[in-house]
Structure formats: C-alpha cells, structure tokens
Structure 1
C-alpha cells in the first residue's frame, strides 16, 4: 500500500476532529467531502489511504463504515437507529412541506441540523431553514406556525416529531457573514452547505453563491440533493405574495408574543437576530461550543 502523504494525514486528522466534535463522524466519502481547509486538493483514494493508515495506528476508530478520532467511535454505535429515525421524521415532515408550499412569500424550505445528515435521534426536532421573499418574513412565520400550533406539533408539545422553525432569511440579504463567529465559524459553514432543500424555486443556489466564504472552509462540499425516494417532497412554491401592510401588522402581533428569553436576547449576539432580513431564534446556539471542542480535539490529537 502506498504510504499516505503527511500533509494529507494532517488534513484528514483535522477534518475528523471537526466531524467528531459535532458528533457525526463520517464515511470515507464524507471525510473527503468535508475536508476542512485542506492544504491542497486530495483525491478520495488518497483520503482513504490516510484513513486506513491512522486506523492501523489506532489513532482513528471505525464503526459501521464511519470514522471518528480514537476513543470517540462509540458515538457511531447507534448510527443505524438514527438513520431509521431520520427516515421517519422525513416522512412525517412531508405534510407540512406541502402546507409551506402554499404560503405566500415562501421561496425555499430546507431540512437542516442532524436530520440533514440522517443522524436525528428519536427525540430530535425536525429543523427547517426558510428563505422568503423580501418583506415577507413575518407573514411566512405566522402562517407556518399557525397549523403547527393548532396541531400541537411545535417543540415543547408532547409529540414524537416536533417541527422547529427558528431560522427565516429574506432573499434580499442572503449573505450570513454578519452573523458568523469571528475569526472562523466552521459549524455555520458546515450547517449551510449540508442543508437539504425540499422546497426551492431556485433561490437556494443563490444563497450558496452568496456565502462563498463557506466553501473556503469546505471546498469539496457537494451541492445537497434530495434522495430519489423523497423526491415527491421536493416541490416548487407558488409565486404569490401578500400586501406589505399585513407584514407590518403580523410583525407587531408576533413581536408582542415572543417569549421573554428571546426578547431579552434579541440582537445582543449572533444567537438571536430579529431585523428586516432575518429571524434567527437560536437560544441554544452551540456553534461556539462546537468550535472550542473541535480546536481542543485538534490539539490533543497532534
């Protein structure tokens, strides 16, 4: 077997530190896809050689075809159960995607977080990222939350597959650099590039293009695609809108009813953002935690 390049080994090790930090690990293909700031372009074969060498040296664990740094492979033990749970959640979300398609102002809805990696546990929410037309954020949020509230399908309700709508973005400002952590935010880049659009009129490609900085961190990241057995859920939204005065009425109505924690934290950091271009309600934003864990693992494994 050809000896792996030291530079390739280092790039693979650093990438595994990140994938281990967020709890996903990765197949050989995923390690190649999510190479973090690689020193140069590596082939999949070169990455596989580097992985095999580090497995042989007991520096990397492999379980069910997924790799993680040594000592962290146990996290992959329930991979099959998480895949089955993710499939159930995808099926459960299909009715709501059809509802979202009918809401005026919706341009794209994407699955994100653990579900987009098919790593959702039974207790995980169905997390969705929504892109709207300009000056339609509050209208879309209101009409999206209405059926979820009536059917008690929001997080906090006693339901098996709660649907979480905590990130709305206007098509007038798709660049997320203003809310990413300085100097680097690997998790936001990874999050954005791994979201899976289920409803899209073409704006999702514009969003990825507007955030070219994310591909500087993960240059091999592939454009997300919906699996063939889920294509029925890949819908185009209807192109109609509501009057702007209704947007202002629904904005005031919802602002008055936001939880006190959100009102207290709004616009005080990059966790909770409320403005004319973005509604981001991440009260449990773990990006800093993931970055610190990643840097710690990267240092320890050297």
Structure 2
C-alpha cells in the first residue's frame, strides 16, 4: 500500500475517534503530507473501490454505517445555530478588561454540535494579566447560571500574549489550533498563528483562519479599568488570583469532583496559561489514535493478501 493511501487512512482514523466522517476536501486539508490533488483523488477512489473506505454521498468513513452521516449532518446544522450565538458571546467578552482575542474551540470549531453542546472558547489576554481577566470573566459566568446560559460561556483555555506558543506539539494540538474559529482580535490571532507555525508539520495543507476575526475596539471603560491596574498593584493582584484559583482547583482535584458529564474536574495552569486537564486526556487520545491506525492498516493488509 502506498504512503499516500496510508496517510488518507490515518486521517480518517483520527476523526473516526470522534465518529466524524469527512468530505474529500476535508481529508485533503487534514492530510499529514503534501501531494498533488489529482494523485490524492485517485488514491481516495481506489480505497473506496478496494472497500478499505466507505463512501456515502459526499462523505468518507472507515465504518460501513450510514448513521454516522446522519449524525454529522444534524450536528452541522446545530453547529450553524450555535456559532451564530458564539459570535454574539465573543462580541460581549472582548469588552472585558485585558481580553485581546476570542475564538471558538472544541467540537463546535469542527462545525459539530448536539443538544448538549457547550460553546467552548479559547481566550488570549494581555501580558501578565491573564488571571485578572479570567477572574472577571468567570465572575460574570456565575451570573449566567441565573438565566441558564452558562453553557454559552465555557472559557476553557487561556493564554496571554507573553507566551503565544502552544508547547504540546502533536496531531491533537495541531488539529485544535488549525480548527480554531477566531471571532475577535484579528491582529492578535495573526501573532498567535505565526507563533504556532509548527502545526504545518502535522497539517501542511490546512490554512489557518485569521480573516474571520473582527478587530478589537476598546471602550473607554475598558481603557480606564486597564489603566488603573497597569502597575505593581496589578502585578500583585494577578499573582494573588493565580494562587487562589490554583489552590481552589487543587482541592477540587483531591476531592475528585466531577462536572455535569461525570468527568473529574482538573486544571493545568501557570502564569501565562490555564487549560482544562482531564486525567491524561491527550495521552490517552494519542494512544487510541496510534492503535486505531495500526488496526486499520493491519485490516487493509489482510484484505490485500486475501
């Protein structure tokens, strides 16, 4: 089997972990290598003819299960509704002190949602003011529980402009970065994507979406608030809020508290970043991915031999 065919199967295997079939254009975008489009299309058709891959309408999948197509189409429709709401959320949150960029992340950034989906958000803050920004935003989120809109404000991943590089470099993080949908902060996301050009090593055909982000127009209130804390007192407050939040999350982890989906709450945090950290999630997913690819290739080799 050619390397190109193996790479196509590996791409489908990754998204199969999320039960998500792909179009031919999407397979090409997430392919881990560059190749001529004609050669790629020929390889895709060959995999279908040889029954290594199943094609339903415009979608390709490793599983002979049309339910996956129905699930995706419903999920895409729901995502369109939720993305429209996310744009309004982004317009609101970008007004908060020290917030420099907002993007949609998670499954919604892959254009998928269901009735239980949240709006996951990736937030970039000003240098050394991440913890002030996060605290204010999460105090606001507590108010959203009163109107049962908390699932619209899942600010999960924060970084600040001091360190825009995502240090974990693998297929999972590359895909998460490449599929971000920037909402606000065009110049900030241009800097962010420039700092993370390493993703092209994993996804050389995927172009990052900067154009979707609106420019930031700071209000007078935001400027005044930031002016008040742009001093040593602001530095001390940011450090204090970091310690308070880290201690609170440490206690949650020790008590093994869970969210409404039964997942144990955990957070990985530092001065310039904070992110959810479900127990060994990335490692488990990468192991599952490698195992999946091995199983798929082994099955295909058996078919060829027969």
- Class of the TM-score when normalised by the shorter of the 2 chains: 0.7 to 0.9
Partner of 1:249: 237
Partner of 2:214: 234
**Secondary structure of residue in 2 paired with 1:279:** strand
Deviation at 1:235, TM superposition (A): 4.4
2:195 equivalent to 1:210:
yes
- Of the three residues 74, 77, 80, the one matched with 1:84 is 77
- Of the three residues 141, 148, 152, the one matched with 2:141 is 148
Deviation at 1:255, TM superposition (A): 4.4
Deviation at 1:6, TM superposition (A): 2.3
**Secondary structure of residue in 2 paired with 1:152:** helix
Can you list the C-alpha shifts for 1:155-187, whole angstroms capped at 9, x where unaligned? xx955843211211011111122xx2xxx6210
Pair 1:166–1:252, CA change in 2 (3 A) = same
Is the 1:17–1:297 contact (alpha carbons within 8 Å) kept by the matching residues of 2? yes
Can you list the C-alpha shifts for 1:238-296, whole angstroms capped at 9, x where unaligned? 2843434245335535643534235889xxxxx73222111113336632232122111
Deviation at 1:123, TM superposition (A): 0.7
Rounded Cα–Cα distance in structure 2 between residues aligned with 1:173 and 1:253: 19
- Of the three residues 175, 192, 199, the one matched with 2:165 is 175
Is the 1:107–1:201 contact (alpha carbons within 8 Å) kept by the matching residues of 2? no
Partner of 2:25: 29
Is the 2:86–2:104 contact (alpha carbons within 8 Å) kept by the matching residues of 1? no
Partner of 2:282: 287
2:272 equivalent to 1:299:
no
Gaps of 5+ in 1: 266-270
2:123 equivalent to 1:130:
yes
- Of the three residues 1, 7, 15, the one matched with 2:3 is 7
Is the 1:167–1:280 contact (alpha carbons within 8 Å) kept by the matching residues of 2? yes
Deviation at 1:137, TM superposition (A): 0.3
Rounded Cα–Cα distance in structure 1 between residues aligned with 2:13 and 2:278: 25
Pair 1:98–1:162, CA change in 2 (3 A) = closer
- 1:38-57 to 2 correspondences below 5 Å: 38=33, 41-57=34-50
**Secondary structure of residue in 2 paired with 1:110:** strand
| Root-mean-square deviation (Å) | 2.8
Pair 1:73–1:50, CA change in 2 (3 A) = farther
- After superposing the two structures, state which structure 1 stretch, 292-301 or 253-262, moved more: 253-262
Rounded Cα–Cα distance in structure 1 between residues aligned with 2:182 and 2:286: 25
Rounded Cα–Cα distance in structure 2 between residues aligned with 1:107 and 1:31: 32
Is the 1:262–1:283 contact (alpha carbons within 8 Å) kept by the matching residues of 2? no
Partner of 2:302: none
- 1:58-207 to 2 correspondences below 5 Å: 58-71=51-64, 74-152=67-145, 159=149, 161-177=151-167, 180=168, 185-207=170-192
Question: TM-score scaled to structure 2, two decimals?
Answer: 0.80
Rg larger for: 2
Can you list the C-alpha shifts for 1:76-135, whole angstroms capped at 9, x where unaligned? 321121112112212222332122221121111110111111112221111100111101
